[in-house]
Chains A and B, each alone.
Chain A
Amino acid sequence: MRVMAQMSMVMNLDKCIGCHTCSVTCKQAWTNRSGVEYVWFNNVESRPGQGYPRTYQDQNRWEGGWVRTRRGRLKLRAGGRMKKLLTIFANPKLPSIQDYYEPWTYEYEHLLSAPAGEHTPVARPKSLITGHDTKISWSANWDDSLAGGNEIAAGDPILAQVSDRVREEYEKSFLFFLPRICEHCLNPSCAASCPSGAIYKRAEDGIVLVDQDRCRGWRMCITGCPYKKVYFNHRTGKAEKCTFCFPRVEIGIPTVCSETCVGRLRYIGLMLYDADAVGKAAAVESKTDLYTSQLSVFLDPNDPAVAAAARASGIPEDWIDAARRSPIWDLIMRHRVALPLHPEYRTMPMVWYIPPLSPVVDVLRDTGHDGEDPGNLFGAVDALRIPVEYLAGLFTAGDPAPVTEVLRKLAAMRSYQRRINLGEERDESIAEAVGMTGRQIEDMYRLLAIAKYDERYVIPAAHAETAAGLEELATGCSLDYEGGPGMGGSGPFGETSGRYAPIAVENFQALSTRQRADDINQPGPEAKRVNLLNWDGKGRPAGLFPPRESPNGPDPNGPEEKP
C-alpha cells in the first residue's frame, strides 16, 4: 500500500444555474492572455449539447483516454509510445481551432473613429486568430440552454448512445448544466501521452500540472486527455491546463471557480488513495465496474492502519486530519451520492458530480404532480428512463443502477426534509426506503444545503517547509517596476520567452497590456491607452493627454505633477 493524498472536487449539479461565473473568473485568473483566448479551463456546458470542444466525448473520433487490451493491460487509445513518436510531426487527432471556436473581439475603436456618415457605425467582430473580420458561428457555449434546439443537441455523443425513444423524449423534456474543469486524474492519460515528460502529477496533492519549461509543444497531451482539458497556447507553443489554482490551494483557500460559484455547489477536500492499486483498478474488464473499482482505491482516513501507512508515506498529520474531515469523502464514500464523470475513459477522474434530480422534479411539476411527495418521486426516478439513462451515460459508463440509487437518495432527502420544514413528524420510512437513517439524511442535507465555507472547503495549507513562494499573491506586484520582470513583454524569441515571471505578476501584466492594446491581434508592448480604472488621478500616464505642442510652448494640461 502506497498512500497518496489527492486534492479533489465534487459539484452538486442540482444547484448549478448555468451562470458561467466560474468560467469567467477562471478565465480572468488564468487564460486572459493572447494565445489562449479560446481556452476555458473551467467551462459550463448545457446538457444535452455538444460540449466544448464540440463532441469531445466521442472517443471513436478523438481517441482520448485509455483502453484495455485483450491481455488486460492499459494502453493509450491513440496508440502506444512508438506510434506517438512516429506521428509527432503531425498529430492525426488534434482538434482544430474550429472544433473549439474561433475567438473574437469587437472593433470598438471604429465606433469612435468612424467618420460622420449616414449610418450609425457598428463594432464589427474581428477574429483574434487572423485579425480580420469574422463571422461568429460557434463559441464555448453556443448551445447554451439548448439554444439551437434539437439540431445542435442531436450532435451530443452521449445522446447518441441512448435509445431513440429516450432521445426524442429527452429533447423536449429538460436541461441541466455541467461545469467542467480538469479532472486531475489518478491515472492521467495526458501525462502518459507527453513525450517530453513535462506533465506531472504532484506527489503531495495529486494536482496535474504542465511544466512550462519542459513542454516542447508536441501536442500529444491534447489528444491524450479524453476530457480535452489540456489546451495549446498558439502564441507560446506550449500546453496549458487547469492548475486547480495551486497557488491558492497551497495556502488553504479554494480555487477561483469554487470561491466565486454563485450556486455554492462546489466542494473541495482531500482523498487518500492507494497509488499501487490504481493501475489495476483502472484496468478492470467491464466498463460498468469502473465506478466501484475506483471506490476501492480510496482509503478510509479514520482507519488507524491507513493513518499509520499515510504517516509512513510522509503525509503530515494535519493533512490526515483534513482527510478525515473531507466533504469529498462524505459525498463519495459515506453518502455515496457523488459519481465520477466518464469513468469509462479509465483515467480515474477526481472531480466528481452529484447528478441532478431536477429533471425528474421538473417532469413531475409539469405534469401537475407533487414534486416532493416520496411516492411520486421514487416512482418517477424508476419510470423516467430518459434522465437516468442519459446521466448513466455521463457518470457510470451506461449502468443505470448507481444513478438510480443516487437519485432515490436525493429524492428521499427532498421528501424527508419537506416534512421537517412543514413541522410534520420525521418519517423514518422514507430514509429506510433508500437504506439510510433519518440522521444520515439530515447529515447529508446539512452538507448539501447549508454547509458553510469551512465545511465545503477543507483544504490543508501546504507545509511551511514545503511551501512554494506565494508571497507575491498577497503583497501585490513587488516586481512591477519599469523594466522589472513583472513588466511582461517578450524576450528575444517570441512571446514571453526569457526568464519566468511569477504567475500572478505575469497575469496582471498581460491583462493590462491587453486592455491597453490598440491592435486586437498583436497587443503591442507600448502602453498607448490608459486604463482609467487603474489611474488614481496622480501623474500623467503617457497617452492620457494629447502630446504637448512644443517642448517650450505653453502646456495646455498644466504643469506636470509628480505622483
Chain B
Amino acid sequence: MNTLLWVIIPYLSIMVFVGGLIWRRRYDKFGWTTRSSQLYESTILRWGSPLFHFGVLLVLIGHVGGLLVPKSWTEAVGITEHAYHLTAVFLGTIAGLCTLIGMAILIARRRLVGPVFTSTTRNDKAMYAVLGAVIVLGLWATVRANVVGDGYDYRETVSPWFRSLFILQPDPSIMAGVPSSFQIHVLAAFVLLAFWPFTRLVHAFSAPVGYLTRPYVVYRSRDARSQRGLRAARRGWER
C-alpha cells in the first residue's frame, strides 16, 4: 500500500504530466491558451485574477523552498528552524488565503456571470474542482497542524521523501507516519499534476519571461514548411 501511494502514484503522475505536456505541445499548440474570459466581464476579474495568480505564485515559491531545499542548507546559512517555520507558516497562510479568496471570486464569477458560465467547459469544471481541492486541503493541513495544533515540520518527512523521488531512490516508508491531512494534500496534488497537461492550466508553462529581453517588433519570414506549389494568378473576373 505504501509503495502504491508513495512510489507508484507519484511516478505515474509525473510521467503523465511530462508525457502529456510534450504530447500536447506537439499535438495541440493551437489549444494552448489561457482562454481568458475578460472580454465578457472585467470588473470582478480585475480583483479575483491578480489575487489568485499572485497568491498562487507565492505558494509555488514556498513549495519550492520547502520541498526542494534541504533543511540542513537553510540551517547552514543561519536560519533557525523556528524562524523558518514562523515565516513559512505566516507567509504561507497569507498567500494561501489570497489564493483561496481569489479563487472563490473567480469561481463565483464563473458561475454567476452568464457569458462566462456559458463558455465554461466540462474540462474547466473538473479542473476547478481538483485545483480547489488541492488548495483547500493544503491550507487545511497547514492550519490544522500549525495554527490549531502545535506545529508540524514537514521538512523532516515530506521533503526528504519528495527529493528521494527525484534521485530515483524513493523511500515510501517516511510518508507512512505523516499526518493524514498532509498525505491527502500530497495525493491530491499528484492527481492535479497528472490532470494538468489536459487542462487550460498549461498556460502556466508559457509564462512570457522572454518578453523582457526580446526586441519589440518581431520579423519572420514566410513559413517555409508549407511549400506546396504555386499556381499562376488569375484576375478577379476570370475566377
Scan A376-411; emit 1 where CB is below 8 A from any B CB, else 0. Answer: 000000000000000000000000000000000000
Across-interface contacts of A494 in B (CB, < 8 A) = 31, 35, 121, 123
Known contacts A89-B50, A232-B39, A474-B231; A493 and B119 CB within 8 A of each other: no
- B contact residues, range: 35 or more
Q: Does B30 contact A (CB under 8 A)?
A: yes
Across-interface contacts of B224 in A (CB, < 8 A) = 466
Q: Does B90 contact A (CB under 8 A)?
A: no
Q: Which of A187, A195, A235, A522 contacts B211 (CB 8 A)?
A: A195
A283 to chain B, nearest CB (A): 12
Q: B198 touching A217 by the CB < 8 A rule? A: no
Across-interface contacts of A462 in B (CB, < 8 A) = 222, 230
Q: How far is the CA of A507 from the CA of B51 in the complex (A)?
A: 39
Q: List 27 A-B contacts (CB under 8 A).
A: A81-B211, A85-B208, A85-B211, A90-B38, A90-B42, A90-B46, A132-B114, A195-B208, A197-B208, A197-B214, A203-B221, A212-B30, A217-B34, A218-B34, A218-B36, A236-B33, A236-B35, A237-B36, A251-B231, A462-B222, A468-B222, A470-B230, A491-B28, A494-B31, A494-B121, A497-B31, A498-B30
Q: Which of A92, A129, A461 contacts B118 (CB 8 A)?
A: A129
Across-interface contacts of A215 in B (CB, < 8 A) = 33
Q: Which of A88, A253, A497 contacts B236 (CB 8 A)?
A: A253
Across-interface contacts of A218 in B (CB, < 8 A) = 34, 36, 208
The chain A residue with its CB closest to the CB of B208 is A195
Q: Interface of B with A (CB < 8 Å)?
A: 24, 27-42, 45-46, 49-50, 52-54, 114-115, 118-119, 121, 123, 198, 200, 203, 206, 208-212, 214, 216-224, 226-237
A40 to chain B, nearest CB (A): 15
The chain A residue with its CB closest to the CB of B32 is A216
Q: Which of B30, B31, B209, B228 contacts A470 (CB 8 A)?
A: B228
A558 to chain B, nearest CB (A): 38
The chain B residue with its CB closest to the CB of A196 is B208
Q: A453 touching B211 by the CB < 8 A rule? A: no
Q: How far is the CA of A23 from the CA of B32 in the complex (A)?
A: 30
The chain A residue with its CB closest to the CB of B122 is A494
Across-interface contacts of B49 in A (CB, < 8 A) = 89-90
Q: A97 touching B40 by the CB < 8 A rule? A: yes
Closest 4 CB pairs of A and B: A469-B228, A497-B31, A252-B233, A195-B208
Q: Which of B40, B209, B218 contacts A129 (CB 8 A)?
A: B40
**Which of A92, A132, A214, A218 neighbours the largest number of chain B CB atoms within 10 Å of its CB?**
A218
Across-interface contacts of B217 in A (CB, < 8 A) = 187-188, 191-192, 201
- A contact residues, range: 35 or more
Q: Does A335 contact B (CB under 8 A)?
A: no
The chain A residue with its CB closest to the CB of B229 is A471
B114 to chain A, nearest CB (A): 4
Q: B214 touching A202 by the CB < 8 A rule? A: no
Q: Interface of A with B (CB < 8 Å)?
A: 81-82, 84-85, 88-92, 94, 96-97, 129-132, 187-188, 191-192, 194-197, 199-204, 211-219, 232, 234-238, 250-254, 259, 453-454, 459, 461-462, 464, 466-471, 474, 491-494, 496-500, 521-522
Across-interface contacts of B115 in A (CB, < 8 A) = 97, 129-130
A8 to chain B, nearest CB (A): 17
Q: How far is the CA of A197 from the CA of B46 in the complex (A)?
A: 24
Q: Which of B118, B216, B218, B230 contacts A131 (CB 8 A)?
A: B118
Q: Which of A84, A90, A212, A235 contacts B50 (CB 8 A)?
A: A90
Q: B212 touching A251 by the CB < 8 A rule? A: no
A313 to chain B, nearest CB (A): 12
Q: How far is the CA of A466 from the CA of B228 in the complex (A)?
A: 10
Q: A253 touching B30 by the CB < 8 A rule? A: no
Q: Which of A96, A454, A464, A522 contacts B230 (CB 8 A)?
A: A464
Q: B119 touching A234 by the CB < 8 A rule? A: yes
Known contacts A94-B39, A94-B42, A235-B119; A204 and B221 CB within 8 A of each other: yes
The chain A residue with its CB closest to the CB of B124 is A494
Beyond A90-B49, A469-B228, A493-B198, 12 additional pairs, beta carbon < 8 A: A96-B38, A97-B39, A196-B208, A200-B219, A203-B221, A213-B32, A219-B36, A234-B39, A238-B30, A251-B232, A470-B228, A492-B28
Across-interface contacts of B31 in A (CB, < 8 A) = 491, 493-494, 496-498
Q: A201 touching B219 by the CB < 8 A rule? A: yes
